[in-house]
Amino acid sequence: MENGTHFRTCHLCEAMCGIAIEVSDGEIQSIKGDDNDPLSQGHICPKAVALKDLHEDPERLRKPVRRTADGWQEMEWDDALDFVANRLHRVRQEQGRNAIGVYLGNPNVHNHGALIANPSFLKALGTQNRFSATSNDQLPHMLANLELFGHQLMFPIPDIDRTDLFICIGANPMASNGSLMTVPDFRGRLKALQARGGQMIVIDPRRNETASHADAFHFIRPGTDALLLMAMVHTLFEEQLVSPGHAEQWLKDADLVRLAALPFSPEAVSDHTGIAADTIRDLARQFASTPKAVLYGRMGTSTQAHGGVATWLIYTLNILAGKLDVPGGVMFTQPAVDLVALAAMSGQTGHFDKRRSRVRQLPEFGGEYPASTMADEMLTPGDGQIRAFVTIAGNPVLSNPDGGRLERALADLDFMVSVDYYLNETTRHADVILPPTAALERSHYDLIFNLFSVRNSAKYSPALFERSDDARHDWEILLGLAHRLERLHKGGQLPLQTELGWRAFRQLGPDGILDLALRSGPYGTDLGPLRPVARNLADLITDLFPSGHPLHGLAELSPVYRRWSELPKGLSIRSLKACPSGVDLGPLQPCLPERLFTRDGRINLAPRRYLADLDRLHQLLASPVSEDLQLIGRRHVRSNNSWLHNSQRLVKGKDRCTLLIHPKDASRCGLKPGDMAEISSAVGRVVLPVDITEDVMSGVVSIPHGWGHTREGTGQSIAAAHAGASINDIIAADQVDRLSGTSVLNGQSVKVRLWRAERSRKRA
Ligand SMILES: Nc1nc2c(c(=O)[nH]1)N[C@H]1C(S)=C(S)[C@@H](COP(=O)(O)OP(=O)(O)OC[C@H]3O[C@@H](n4cnc5c(=O)[nH]c(N)nc54)[C@H](O)[C@@H]3O)O[C@H]1N2
Ligand SMILES: Nc1nc2c(c(=O)[nH]1)N[C@H]1C(S)=C(S)[C@@H](COP(=O)(O)OP(=O)(O)OC[C@H]3O[C@@H](n4cnc5c(=O)[nH]c(N)nc54)[C@H](O)[C@@H]3O)O[C@H]1N2
Ligand code: SF4
Ligand SMILES: [Mo]
């Protein structure tokens, strides 16, 4: 490791901030924002500095460990991989392939090695019991992409740098730094927006960190967004404000949307949403009459009982008001590794509800079942019951609804393996933990977040620290397991051609494949005489990917592809290495209709699935407004899901895992400042300090997720000293958005009361 400044991308959240890491004597001296990064221009948040803690954390696992009667025992890599492959193979032989379940957590998408290796591993597992964080997150967006644009990866992204009106509903980019909107320095971009006379409006059950910078803010009752959005659609039609602009020529069935919205007048939805009818009309008018405007929704509108319909309506409003595919509206990215085009070329634009889960009959999305039903599949006997489980970079005990039940299910398995470098609430149930290298020991390229970026750019970061001989990357672990499994399935031997493929894959590694993808992508370099060689190589390795995997398209791509012929050329790993702060590839560009993947080349505004789900919305409108307290989540800029709490500098200070409650509700529940509250639901209860505040809507309480480091036998002492409680211990897993299968993480009913032990302690 050389002394000096190393430039790379922070991989912790979606913002892709450029960082400058000062190293001397093999140690990190400082981590600062990289002013030359074309996207983030020097911005970072407090988490970036914690990359040092993560790297140096003595509690981070560095070698495989196996659970024994005398505790965890270290293993050599080959032994560990053989052992795991044999155990998984045995389960498959004895109980069938679906007896193995697998869960992929969020950090996989921040890791190009894992992204490239996972499909081969999943193929080798061969199970239909696949789960991921998607169904606790962005599934409704992917479904809307698929239904409206014909491709699950066609995410419309707010063109925030050129818009004049940013309506933010159910998102908190000031804390999250943006999601499905890679937007480093949201604050700075917002200031610029406001400086050019633009406005931001926030709609949320909590006056969140983003709201405090807004020009207008409206409370909304959790789970009622679809009603509000319907009323906005209603108003657009009623007041002849529908004006799709250049998208009009590809639209169909707008009239069905008009009819669907008829019963949802602003007056009709006002009580339920908690927003005055006049305010709703004004919102619709302001949105329609501002030429450059964006309506943006995220976790709050997606992970709730009507997440599917709410997300569809957000898309629909943008389209009806003429904000799609125009500067200042919602636009599509053109990343250097064009996963959209690659996937389309290999025939994989996505699918939904091709089959249903065994126990609850929930729909698959992209080959995954809703994570809310993971425990059911483990605990319910019968053919296809999950008896062995694999987690890769996930902590579902804390991140999944009803973590308590999932925990019991994990404890009851025949075998479990986790690819993870922490012994945490989930991995403590594993028989073997396989820890990968830490982020700074591997190269980095954002395959996914460039799809969401508010501006096109590209950046490659080589590994900063050399890994030890005894360390394995995620991709090596996954390929190691996949190769062993494939051999075992075939009775020990694979055909020569396949073995050659494996060797080529390992030799190329994710960086070799990335290089091919960059060179053959929109900003690549024509390979010239190397093209046939690359094609053979790509053909060889693509055998190892499932059919329909984006990499199958690799050999067909070309930087001189018609649509791309205008773009600047020359990207490869080598050329990117010469620009360690990254290269700017310009603002988002209109790309429709070429980039539409629907069969008829049009945008169907009223897909059957959404219309069929409107019965539930009518029922919501017809039922009385709930008197129960509604639970919502929250995020804090110094935390990241469940796994950064072992960094002292991030957890220090005021307790952040608290219950936010409105003064009226607090007094109704007999709570005063300084009290502890017991929050309970049908599935569990947690106890937390109360934070009484008018920033949360009356009738709503808020708890952040990712806490609850109270479980025995974990290996994160700092996290355990700042344990908090897990919101997912009281979120029921049987509540999903019935349309999409997405977990209802926001808007479940809970009961709150003074915690009795606290009461008695005070009396004493
Ligand atoms: N109630 C509620 N629940 C939620 C949410 C919410 O808002 N409210 N949010 C949901 C969302 S959006 C998400 S994305 C999920 C996240 O849920 P998960 O992905 O299940 O959980 P994380 O907390 O991100 O845990 C990541 C795990 O990966 C490990 N890890 C970190 N980096 C690496 C790596 O490079 N390689 C490997 N192999 N392991 C690594 C960490 O040690 C940790 O164990 O939580 C969801 N759960
Ligand atoms: N600091 C930090 N950054 C992160 C993460 C993190 O854990 N910490 N996680 C990353 C991940 S994995 C993701 S997916 C993103 C998420 O990014 P965001 O979606 O921006 O983050 P959240 O804080 O979950 O914002 C959800 C908002 O919805 C509101 N809300 C809850 N229920 C409702 C409702 O029914 N209707 C409406 N309108 N609003 C509602 C909440 O009050 C909250 O303000 O953040 C990413 N960035
Ligand atoms: S916002 Fe913070 S955590 Fe996210 S990429 Fe930037 S520095 Fe990293
Ligand atoms: Mo997420």
Burial 679-710 (b: 16+ CB within 10 A, else e): bbbebbbbebbbbbeebbbbbbbbbbbbbbbe
In tens, the pLDDT along 9-66 reads 999 999 999 999 999 999 999 999 999 999 999 999 999 999 999 999 999 999 999 9
Q: What is the largest CA-CA distance in the chain?
A: 84
Are 38 and 409 in contact by the 8 Å Cβ rule? The answer is no
Helix and strand numbers (H, E) in the chain are 26, 28
Is 641 near ligand 2, meaning CB less than 6 Å away?
yes
Atom index in ligand 3 nearest the CA of residue 40 equals 6
Helices assigned H by DSSP within 641-734:
648-651, 663-668, 717-721
Is 209 near ligand 2, meaning CB less than 6 Å away?
no
Ligand 3 centre to CA of 47 (Å) is: 6
* pLDDT of 204 strictly over 80: yes
Is 748 near ligand 2, meaning CB less than 6 Å away?
no
Protein residue closest via CA to atom 39 of ligand 2: 170
Is 134 near ligand 1, meaning CB less than 6 Å away?
no
Q: For a ligand 2 pocket test, name from 299, 399, 631 the mutation site with the most ligand atoms within 8 angstroms of its C-beta.
A: 299
Ligand 1 centre to CA of 638 (Å) is: 15
State CA 173 to chain mean position distance: 14
Is 645 near ligand 2, meaning CB less than 6 Å away?
no
In tens, the pLDDT along 465-506 reads 999 999 999 999 999 999 999 999 999 899 999 999 999 999
Of 236, 316, 215, nearest in space to 281 by CA: 236
* pLDDT of 455 strictly over 80: yes
pLDDT of 764 reads 45
Are 658 and 689 in contact by the 8 Å Cβ rule? The answer is yes
Q: What proportion of the chain, given as a percentage, has pLDDT over 90?
A: 92
Ligand 3 centre to CA of 16 (Å) is: 6
Q: Which residues pair with 45 in a beta bridge?
A: none
SS3 content of the chain, % helix, strand, coil (to 5): 40, 20, 45
Are 8 and 23 in contact by the 8 Å Cβ rule? The answer is no
pLDDT of 697 reads 98
Span 333-353, mean pLDDT?
A: 94
Strand (E) or helix (H) holding 406 = helix 403-411
The pLDDT confidence band at residue 1, using thresholds 50, 70 and 90, is low
Are 247 and 603 in contact by the 8 Å Cβ rule? The answer is yes
pLDDT of 748 reads 98
Span 243-260, mean pLDDT?
A: 97
Protein residue closest via CA to atom 29 of ligand 1: 393
Span 332-350, mean pLDDT?
A: 94
* Alpha carbons 584 and 591: distance in angstroms, whole number: 19
Span 630-659, mean pLDDT?
A: 97
Burial 263-282 (b: 16+ CB within 10 A, else e): ebbbebbbebbbbebebbbe
Are 275 and 228 in contact by the 8 Å Cβ rule? The answer is yes
Ligand nearest to the CA of 420: 1
In tens, the pLDDT along 677-709 reads 999 999 999 999 999 999 999 999 999 999 999
Is 705 near ligand 1, meaning CB less than 6 Å away?
yes
Signed CA dihedral, 158, 164, 170, 171: sign only? positive
Strand positions, DSSP E, 209-318: 216-218, 251-252, 293-297
pLDDT of 761 reads 55
* pLDDT of 760 strictly over 60: no
Q: Is the pTM of this model over 0.75?
A: yes
Average model confidence (pLDDT) across the chain: 96
Ligand nearest to the CA of 733: 1
Of 614, 625, 618, nearest in space to 273 by CA: 625
Q: What proportion of the chain, given as a percentage, has pLDDT over 70?
A: 98
The pLDDT confidence band at residue 205, using thresholds 50, 70 and 90, is very high
Is 409 near ligand 2, meaning CB less than 6 Å away?
no
The conformation of residue 439, written as its DSSP 8-state character, comes to: G
- Distance set, CA 249 to CA 4, 590, 606 (Å): 55, 15, 16
- Distance set, CA 432 to CA 82, 87, 397, 528 (Å): 11, 11, 17, 47
Of 297, 272, 273, nearest in space to 287 by CA: 297
Coil/strand/helix, residue 764: coil
Are 181 and 296 in contact by the 8 Å Cβ rule? The answer is yes
Question: Could you tell me the two tokens for 388?
Answer: 């062995």
Is 731 near ligand 1, meaning CB less than 6 Å away?
yes
Beta-strand relationship, 4-9 and 18-24: antiparallel
In tens, the pLDDT along 151-167 reads 999 999 999 999 999 99
Is 119 near ligand 1, meaning CB less than 6 Å away?
no
Is 704 near ligand 2, meaning CB less than 6 Å away?
no
Question: Could you tell me the two tokens for 521?
Answer: 């992508």
Give the number of C-alpha atoms closer than 13 A to the C-alpha of residue 693, restricted to the C-beta side: 14
Ligand 2 centre to CA of 175 (Å) is: 8
Atom index in ligand 3 nearest the CA of residue 46 equals 2
pLDDT of 551 reads 79
Q: Which residues pair with 368 in a beta bridge?
A: 365
* Alpha carbons 329 and 322: distance in angstroms, whole number: 8
* pLDDT of 549 strictly over 70: yes
Domains of the chain: residue spans and CATH? 4-56 (3.30.200.210), 65-137+352-506 (3.40.50.740), 148-335+601-611 (3.40.228.10), 511-586 (no CATH), 626-763 (2.40.40.20)
Ligand 4 centre to CA of 295 (Å) is: 20
* pLDDT of 89 strictly over 90: yes
Helices assigned H by DSSP within 239-389:
254-261, 266-273, 277-289, 299-302, 307-320, 339-345, 374-379
Ligand 1 centre to CA of 393 (Å) is: 7
The conformation of residue 626, written as its DSSP 8-state character, comes to: P
The conformation of residue 625, written as its DSSP 8-state character, comes to: P
* Alpha carbons 31 and 466: distance in angstroms, whole number: 18
Ligand 4 centre to CA of 265 (Å) is: 33
Ligand 4 centre to CA of 133 (Å) is: 7
pLDDT of 728 reads 98
Is 136 near ligand 1, meaning CB less than 6 Å away?
yes
Ligand nearest to the CA of 640: 2
* Alpha carbons 676 and 389: distance in angstroms, whole number: 37
Pocket (CB within 6 angstroms of ligand 3)? 10, 12-13, 15-17, 44-45, 47-48, 177, 184
In tens, the pLDDT along 301-327 reads 999 999 999 999 999 999 999 999 999
Of 603, 704, 739, nearest in space to 311 by CA: 739
Ligand 1 centre to CA of 107 (Å) is: 6
In tens, the pLDDT along 155-198 reads 999 999 999 999 999 999 999 999 999 999 999 999 999 999 99
* Alpha carbons 468 and 465: distance in angstroms, whole number: 9
Ligand 2 centre to CA of 173 (Å) is: 8
Of 579, 613, 638, nearest in space to 738 by CA: 613
Question: Could you tell me the two tokens for 323?
Answer: 């904000």
Span 636-653, mean pLDDT?
A: 97
